[in-house]
Chain A
């Protein structure tokens, strides 16, 4: 076979959802035996492209040729039959079934009676786990009982099982703390002629593995080049449309040490939270850095009373508070901007205006009857705080882009006049312009006397936006990084569990004091 001919050729792929174009005439090629990176911000269209290639989403237009044959998969099975396998970012494993069964879904081997023999399935699974270097996982263990890193490995291995011609890896290292395991597998696959489309937003991985990379922005392909000689700034400016230096508001410290900390967390423990203590001062943005699934989500939920505290307590503005529900949290001055916007944030049957006004709708009512003018004024005040244009207020909120939806949720939170904002990955799935907006809103809020606890998966955000940053690993605070020491490298290594000497002594000092400063 002519090795210079592409194994996968996509031409003018187009996909619209209503008035939004998720993929805009995207064309690219993938050659045999190469690893090609797929880069782009959240919302750029990477996810949609992966879904189109995997057969989950049917494109409106465009052609794909795989292995010299036209490729029109209508489901995962079609894709697999044609030689394309995917390891999804949102893991496709079934938690209540065992490792062995999951590995061989959807068609585990059946005997003459059309029955699956668990024992032989598990034996085969055992061999496979060994072959791919996954230790410490029993084939009969239920996926739901395994830690996230193990699940991610199994997801990746499953995609490799049928020796696909083309392998799609979507953010495969999100939960892995040791990436060498994956890099080794990738090297092996390439040597055997498999092609890999490697979706990531981590540039160091792109440099390590990929000779070429493609970048999407707003659904369009904006870059297709070799990785040699690409600088970080080149990439960022192509991704964001502006150079990295400009993208963060200038940070002036507005920390007020003379007042008691707005929020003090003292030795709290909850489900997956192990004795955490820290404090957020007035005028401060305290960052939280952590890899996937280290307890950060549990921490935020516990702080607003969505889950009960097993021990410890909270102190707000110097007064001890007991928070048993998000309602009580709001009264105490703590408001959560949640992780899952679509399922925990927006009320997708209501208008944007109704979404913004809902927690304080009583303020716009007399004797329980809503006064239209009062509500409108309230909502416009909130929208102004976040720079949300008033034309977005009447329609249903699910007609808005992710960024505008997030602005609406922020507006809602600000209108409740909180003391401390708890923001969980607020810029996920948000376009770049809105991100900048959100940063400004946060800094304005703390400058005017508020405080913010800010978790993000983007290390750059943490570095540029926060005054201090705590690192969470396995449910505890393992480090506290001051402004001077903040850098993506430091945060990443701490988050992966490698404590430096300096931070080790800081941790011991903190646990002796009982609070962190």
Chain B
């Protein structure tokens, strides 16, 4: 996404294509489920979206630095079981658990970041390792799905506030607002720089390692939050890892217009991407597609998502190329 370009026609950011797609999907969904437009329906939709959206937002930060992170589902498993075991046993449990999961997520993320940025390990393999280890920890805390999430969390976070605003929606708005501010901090700018060209970033004086380390850390914290919200949604803890969910997190980022190569895109697109995937799932359910087809659907949709992401990136770049040619009136070398 380009920084502000006053005085120049800005090319359409690839997240706009995602937003368009969301609009279309939602319209179709509305046809099958007219109650979707009511407050209850919107609240329900947002509740279904929020876990994926927050996880995808976290992953976006890492992908922007041109690294990969498979540990999201691992952290979610750990924090989810913690919410289900701790929140009912401690006074003020909801709040304390929230702090706890954020810290745990941050810790795992910083470990990931240390392995990748400071030890130089390849990010796919390293985060695969931490994902497995995290799942092990989750299983130690809770051997099988169960536990109990504090009623406060379950009821309040899935409800509405001020009479018209779903809490999930509020959280998403806060996340988006936070992102818009973060993009203009030095760290936010550094993340884009590092993902585009790490060598140039270093020659410009940026601390590449610290930037990546912090990106992983913040992503981990987001995953922790996602696990917390999962507890709010389901009311229980589940130590198992879903491959499908991992696919969905990446699909959300890809559909939202953040290429896996880094340097371009943003959180807003990923949140919209999460919305698209959720609506699609609900659509399939509303249409009456059999349960076991969902696996096939998950697999295919992931591939389509990547292709879509590539396509919108290509369209975005082609737009820019055409615009720059017109501006100079001649071929611009390089």
| Interface flags, A74-99, vs B, CB<8A=1, else 0 | 01110010000010101111111110
Q: A108-B186, A115-B185, A118-B3 are in contact. Are A94 and B205 (CB under 8 A)?
A: no
A373 within 8 A of B: no
Check B331–A272 contact: CB distance below 8 A.
yes
| Interface flags, A114-134, vs B, CB<8A=1, else 0 | 111111001000000000000
Q: How far is the CB of A20 from chain B (nearest CB, A)?
A: 21
Q: A107-B186, A108-B189, A116-B189 are in contact. Are A295 and B204 (CB under 8 A)?
A: no
By beta carbon, the residue of chain B nearest A76 is B205
Please pick, from A96, A106, A107, A274, the residue contacting B331 in the complex, using a CB distance under 8 A. Answer: A274
Contacts of A77 in B (CB 8 A): 205
Among the listed stretches B55-63, B132-140, B192-200, which one makes contact with chain A, having 4 or more residues with CB under 8 Å of it? B192-200
A294 within 8 A of B: yes
By beta carbon, the residue of chain B nearest A95 is B196
Among the listed stretches A140-148, A207-215, A234-242, A445-453, which one makes contact with chain B, having 4 or more residues with CB under 8 Å of it? A140-148
A333 within 8 A of B: no
Contacts of A88 in B (CB 8 A): 203
Q: How far is the CB of B214 from chain A (nearest CB, A)?
A: 14
Check B330–A474 contact: CB distance below 8 A.
yes
Please pick, from B189, B328, B330, the residue contacting A101 in the complex, using a CB distance under 8 A. Answer: B189
| Interface flags, A237-260, vs B, CB<8A=1, else 0 | 000000000000000000000000
Check B3–A106 contact: CB distance below 8 A.
no
Which of A114, A145, A148 neighbours the largest number of chain B CB atoms within 10 Å of its CB? A145
Check B186–A110 contact: CB distance below 8 A.
yes
By beta carbon, the residue of chain B nearest A146 is B332
B190 within 8 A of A: yes
Check A140–B192 contact: CB distance below 8 A.
no
Check B330–A118 contact: CB distance below 8 A.
no
By beta carbon, the residue of chain B nearest A114 is B185
Interface size class of A (residues with CB under 8 A): 35 or more
Q: A148-B334, A475-B331 are in contact. Are A140 and B185 (CB under 8 A)?
A: no
By beta carbon, the residue of chain B nearest A92 is B203
Q: A97-B193, A115-B181, A140-B5 are in contact. Are A105 and B331 (CB under 8 A)?
A: no
Check A114–B186 contact: CB distance below 8 A.
yes
Q: How far is the CB of A154 from chain B (nearest CB, A)?
A: 12
By beta carbon, the residue of chain B nearest A86 is B203
B7 within 8 A of A: yes
A138 within 8 A of B: yes
Contacts of B206 in A (CB 8 A): 105-106
Contacts of B6 in A (CB 8 A): 122, 140
Please pick, from A90, A97, A113, A141, the residue contacting B199 in the complex, using a CB distance under 8 A. Answer: A90
Contacts of A92 in B (CB 8 A): 199-200, 203-204
Check B202–A56 contact: CB distance below 8 A.
yes
A102 within 8 A of B: yes
Please pick, from B185, B205, B333, the residue contacting A80 in the complex, using a CB distance under 8 A. Answer: B205
Check B205–A106 contact: CB distance below 8 A.
yes
* Alpha-carbon separation in the docked complex, A146 to B186 (Å): 24
* Alpha-carbon separation in the docked complex, A116 to B328 (Å): 30
A488 within 8 A of B: no
* Alpha-carbon separation in the docked complex, A506 to B3 (Å): 46
B294 within 8 A of A: no
Please pick, from A54, A94, A107, the residue contacting B196 in the complex, using a CB distance under 8 A. Answer: A94
B263 within 8 A of A: yes
B 190-248 contacts with A by CB, 8 A: 190, 192-193, 196-197, 199-207
A293 within 8 A of B: yes
Please pick, from B4, B186, B334, the residue contacting A147 in the complex, using a CB distance under 8 A. Answer: B334
Q: How far is the CB of A336 from chain B (nearest CB, A)?
A: 19
B2 within 8 A of A: yes
* Alpha-carbon separation in the docked complex, A142 to B334 (Å): 13
B35 within 8 A of A: no
Check B204–A293 contact: CB distance below 8 A.
no
Check B2–A142 contact: CB distance below 8 A.
yes
Q: A94-B200, A272-B331 are in contact. Are A75 and B3 (CB under 8 A)?
A: no
Check A75–B184 contact: CB distance below 8 A.
no
* Alpha-carbon separation in the docked complex, A122 to B193 (Å): 18
Contacts of A91 in B (CB 8 A): 200
By beta carbon, the residue of chain A nearest B187 is A114
Contacts of B324 in A (CB 8 A): 145
B8 within 8 A of A: yes
* Alpha-carbon separation in the docked complex, A101 to B189 (Å): 9
Contacts of A54 in B (CB 8 A): 203
Please pick, from A98, A118, A140, A142, the residue contacting B184 in the complex, using a CB distance under 8 A. Answer: A118
By beta carbon, the residue of chain B nearest A118 is B4
Contacts of A141 in B (CB 8 A): 5, 8
Q: A108-B186, A140-B7, A140-B8 are in contact. Are A75 and B332 (CB under 8 A)?
A: no
Please pick, from B5, B185, B205, B263, the residue contacting A105 in the complex, using a CB distance under 8 A. Answer: B205
B282 within 8 A of A: no
Which of A75, A106, A122, A148 neighbours the largest number of chain B CB atoms within 10 Å of its CB? A106
Please pick, from B190, B196, B334, the residue contacting A106 in the complex, using a CB distance under 8 A. Answer: B190
Q: How far is the CB of B325 from chain A (nearest CB, A)?
A: 10
Check B4–A293 contact: CB distance below 8 A.
no
* Alpha-carbon separation in the docked complex, A60 to B136 (Å): 45
Q: A91-B200, A108-B186, A114-B186 are in contact. Are A293 and B334 (CB under 8 A)?
A: yes
By beta carbon, the residue of chain A nearest B333 is A293
Check B193–A295 contact: CB distance below 8 A.
no
Contacts of A116 in B (CB 8 A): 184-186, 189
Check B333–A474 contact: CB distance below 8 A.
yes
| Interface flags, B1-20, vs A, CB<8A=1, else 0 | 01111111000000000000
List 27 interface pairs A-B (beta carbons < 8 Å), by A numbering.
A54-B203, A56-B203, A75-B202, A76-B203, A76-B205, A88-B203, A92-B203, A94-B196, A94-B200, A94-B201, A95-B196, A98-B2, A101-B3, A105-B189, A105-B205, A106-B205, A107-B205, A110-B185, A115-B184, A116-B185, A116-B189, A140-B6, A140-B8, A141-B8, A145-B324, A147-B334, A148-B334
Interface positions of A (Cβ within 8 A of B):
54, 56, 75-77, 80, 86, 88, 90-98, 101-102, 105-108, 110, 113-119, 122, 138, 140-142, 145-148, 272, 274, 293-295, 474-475
A sample of 4 more A-B contacts (CB under 8 A), given A117-B184, A122-B4, is A80-B205, A101-B3, A116-B189, A147-B334
- Across the A-B interface, give the 6 residue pairs with the lowest CB-CB distance, nearest first: A92-B203, A106-B205, A76-B205, A293-B333, A105-B204, A293-B334
